[in-house]
């Protein structure tokens, strides 16, 4: 009886869990860091968002979080965290209206929109507007780089999932990528 109950529970977890994304299919684009009038501007995004289409169209709300960090590289010492910005994008498919509800928020702004088709949702989800990470005037001379971490998770679960939630990881996907190092000041 215990083996049958365990097998049934395992089957329910596999069947009812949201489709997990293979980290190798989604990729972070960039990050590209540019110094413009002493401001550090970062461009980044994700590619192959089509992999998320199936799970989004089930009606389960998805949250994709972009964390962009400025880090100072030290030789022979652990790297130093300087600053970060976080952008959270939430997407949900409305099957009655056949459109996507999309929300984007950061520490400075929040926007909501309705997107008519998958192509426009894919374009919206895969990119973020250029991010100002800080000013080079306040930084010490040295080598710096930008790290981007992208995490995806479902915000809603079917009723039965709430019962066995401790068996499923909260984050479905987590990717990280670093930019090429760049110099600030007279660093060599």
Residue from 103, 65, 101 nearest 85 by CA? 65
Identify the residue with better confidence: 172 or 103: 103
- How many separate domains does the chain show? 1
Instruction: Flag whether pLDDT at 146 surpasses 90.
Output: yes
- Please count the other Cβ atoms lying within 10 Å of the Cβ belonging to residue 87: 20
Q: Can you name the residues that pair with 72 across neighbouring β-strands?
A: 80, 144
Residue 14's H or E segment, with its range, is helix 2-16
Q: What is the mean pLDDT of the chain?
A: 81
Contact between 114 and 96 under an 8 Å Cβ cutoff? The reply is: no
More confident position, 90 or 186: 90
* pLDDT at residue number 18: 45
Q: pLDDT tens digits, residue range 11-55?
A: 444 444 444 434 447 789 989 999 999 999 999 999 888 777 777
Domain of 178 in residue numbering reads as 2-184
Residue keyed to tokens 């009655």: 96
Distance of CA 119 to the CA centre of its chain: 19
Sort 70 into a burial class: Cβ within 10 Å, 0-12 / 13-18 / 19+: buried
pLDDT at residue 127, as a whole number: 86
**pLDDT tens digits for range 91-115:** 998 888 889 999 999 888 899 999 9
Query: For 70, phi and psi rounded to 5 degrees?
Result: -100, 125
pLDDT in tens, 61-86: 889 999 999 999 999 999 999 999 99
Specify the DSSP class assigned to residue 127. B
* 3-state SS class at 37: coil
> What's the pLDDT at 1?
59
Strand ranges, E, within 55-169: 62-73, 80-94, 99-105, 110-115, 131-135, 142-154
Q: Which residues share a beta bridge with 64? A: 89, 152
């Amino acid at each position: 009886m215990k083996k049958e109950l365990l097998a049934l529970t395992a089957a329910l977890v596999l069947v009812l869990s949201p489709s997990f994304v293979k980290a190798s299919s989604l990729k972070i684009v960039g990050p590209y860091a540019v110094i413009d009038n002493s401001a550090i501007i970062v461009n980044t995004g994700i590619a192959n968002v089509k992999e998320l289409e199936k799970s989004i169209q089930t009606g389960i709300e998805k949250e994709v979080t972009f964390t962009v960090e400025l880090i100072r590289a030290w030789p022979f010492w652990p790297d130093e965290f300087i600053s970060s910005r976080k952008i959270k994008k939430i997407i949900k498919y409305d099957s009655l209206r056949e459109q996507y509800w999309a929300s984007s928020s950061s520490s400075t702004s929040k926007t909501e929109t309705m997107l008519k088709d998958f192509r426009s949702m894919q374009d919206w989800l895969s990119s973020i507007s250029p991010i100002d990470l800080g000013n080079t005037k306040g930084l010490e001379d040295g080598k710096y780089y930008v790290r981007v971490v992208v995490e995806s998770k479902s915000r809603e679960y079917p009723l039965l999932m709430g019962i066995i939630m401790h068996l499923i990881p909260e984050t479905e996907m987590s990717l990280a990528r670093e930019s090429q190092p760049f110099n600030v000041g007279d660093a060599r």
